[in-house]
Amino acid sequence: MKSYTYRVIIEPDGKAYHGFVPALTGCHTCGDTIEETRTNLRDAISLYLENLNENKSVIPEENSLESFETVVMKSSVYA
């Protein structure tokens, strides 16, 4: 069985988090925490690839992998 590696993006969405996989159009999920969103993304990717395989569709490969983490900070702007 071939192994695939995909870049995922997790971003704040109100009081929760939204995660998606740019290389897999429509593959996204959410969670109450970053860790829950990561877990849900693993499940979403697995189901997405399983569906592609069952339909004998081409499984996309990631073109370039980058590793980065964005930290979101709330700040006050004083005028």
pLDDT digits (tens, 9 = 90+) for 40-67: 999 999 999 999 999 999 999 887 655 5
The percent of residues in the chain predicted with pLDDT above 70, rounded, is 78
Query: If you average pLDDT over residues 15-22, what whole number do you get?
Result: 95
Per-residue confidence (pLDDT) for residue 62, from 0 to 100: 82
The model's pTM is 0.77
CA atoms within 13 A on the CB side of 51: 9
Please tell me the class of the 9-54 domain: alpha beta
Domain residue spans of the chain: 9-54
| 9 phi and psi angles, rounded to 5 deg | -120, 130
